[in-house]
Structures are given as C-alpha cells and as structure tokens.
Amino acid sequence: MLSVSVWRATLGVDRSTVIELVDYDEEVDAIVASVRPRRASKRRCGECGRRAPGYDRGEGRRRWRTMDLGPTRAFLEADAPRVNCVKHGPTVAQVPWAAHAARHTYGFEALVAWLAVRLSKTAVQELLRIGWATVGVLIDRVVVRDRAVCDPFDGLVRIGIDEISYKKGHRYLMVVVDHGSGRLVWAKAGHDRATLGCFFEALGPERCAGIRLVSCDAAGWIADEARARCPGVIVCLDPFHITKWATDALDEVRRDTWNTARRAGMKAHAQDLKGARYAPIFACPGEHQGALRC
C-alpha cells in the first residue's frame, strides 16, 4: 500500500486535497481516487473563490481526469456540492485540483499544453486519449490562467516579427517573439499591417515606447508599422533572411557560371561547379573517423 504522500505526488495534488481511497474501476479501466478538499478549501465559490454558505448537494459525485499512471488512465472523484455566492448565486463549490467547470485537473491541463508545444495536435490526442477539440480547450484554459499571473508583454525590449504558413494554401500566422527570452509572446492569423497593428494595440503605448529593437524580413509595412508605434525603435533585418538571400544569390551566380562553362566545352570545370553549392567536407588523415573538417 502506497503512502498518502506518494499518492499525492503520483496524482498531482497538494496538501489542500485529502485522499480518502484509491481503487481500480474495471468498468472504465482506470484508477479512481476518492478525494475531498480540506476544511480551509471548502465552501468557496467556484467562480470567484469567496467563502459562501452551502446551498445543496449539487448533482452528486463528479470525476476529473488526471495524469495517467503508466498505461492506465486515472481520475479524481469527489462530491460536487453547490454554494450560494452573493455575487454568482448557486454555484458549484471550488476544488483545489481543477478549475471551475473543468473536467481535467490542473496537472493534466499543464501536461497537454507542454506536449502541444512539442508534438502535433493529433499526437497529443492519441497519446493522452482525449478528444481533438479537448486539446484546444485545455490549451486555451492554460494560456488564460498563466497570463493572469504572468504578462508575456512585460519587459519587452528586443522583439522579432515574422509570419509563418500553416495547413495548405496561403494561410499565415503573424508571430512575435522576445529575443531576450526566446519565447513566443503573441500570434494571430493573418499577415498584413492591420494584423500587426493588433499586437501593438494589445501592447499599449507605454510598453510600445519600451521597444528598442525590432528584427523582421524585408517587408516594408512591418518596418513602417513598428516605427509608427514605437518611437525611436531600430529596425533591422533578421539573420535568417539575410543568409537565405546571400546563399540564393550565390547559387544563381554558380548556375550562370556552370552554364557558361558547359556551353564553352569546359566539361571538367562545369562538373566541378555542379556540386559546388555547399563546401565539401574532407576527413583529415590520422584523425578520428568522426572528426571532419572543411
């Protein structure tokens, strides 16, 4: 029999949650832990967290999906009474392990959001055995909750602006990253000046004034919008596009030179140029087989 502290760590709950019983439900092929909030966490409105008198027993016991235990799904099960909040009226009481009206625990939602950054939505759906739409709902809830305690716009000084395509056809997302932390701080469907203007509107005049450097591609409207919104900002081209333009220009020269040599009958020279886009890599004699130098 595992200790209570081990079950708390395994199920992803803290000391504000009392674990009464852990059992295996054969009907749903899952581990179910019967829990309840400690007295200090009881009788609080699920909407605002204020203390409120009890109203009724609600609709009985409820289950919340929590993190899997190996290949087996796991749930928390508890009563869901209602309280009579002075502001929200009869409302399901707050629980310390999940958000109001949620069917998943805080830990499970955080896991979905973490995986969504690194895997496709389909992969997250199949791995965690949840619905396609549920993945998006949980991500939105995590974003809203995290932004309530941590503003991603605070302290922005050096930002990068670009657009990326998604799905098929000409569908784009305008994205803004913080060069200081390397984090994505904003994204919106579209790739025009009006879309970018939404970012600066959300940023606000005071924080716009704190932006000192903006990196972007050669689209003039990005630079114009940045200069119009951020007084004294320095706009520079990002190294990715500079490198791409330089290598594309070099390759164009290489192709022209190859065609000239081929037409002039310089077959050996043309053959050397054909594979000269990238610098050759040679193994130096006497060195380890895995050590290669240009």
Which pLDDT tens digit goes with each residue over 107-147? 999 999 999 989 999 999 999 999 999 999 999 999 888 88
Return the pLDDT at 291. Answer: 36
Return the pLDDT at 280. Answer: 58
Going by C-alpha positions, the residue among 181, 99, 101, 176 that lies closest to residue 142 is: 99
Distance CA 90, CA 80 (A): 12
Count each helix (H run) and each strand (E run) in the chain, helices first.
8, 12
Distance CA 187, CA 192 (A): 13
- Give residue-wise pLDDT tens across range 219-250: 889 999 999 999 989 999 888 888 888 888 88
Return the pLDDT at 39. Answer: 86
- Contact (Cβ atoms closer than 8 angstroms) between residue 226 and residue 233: yes
Distance CA 154, CA 206 (A): 11
Q: What is the dihedral of CA 143, 144, 147, 149, to 10 degrees?
A: -120
pLDDT-flagged residues of the chain (< 50): 282-283, 286-294
Return the pLDDT at 293. Answer: 36
Q: Which conformational region is residue 265 in: left (phi greater than 0), alpha (psi within -120 to 50 degrees), or beta?
A: left
Which domains are present in the chain?
Answer: 4-149 (no CATH), 158-237 (3.30.420.10), 245-294 (no CATH)
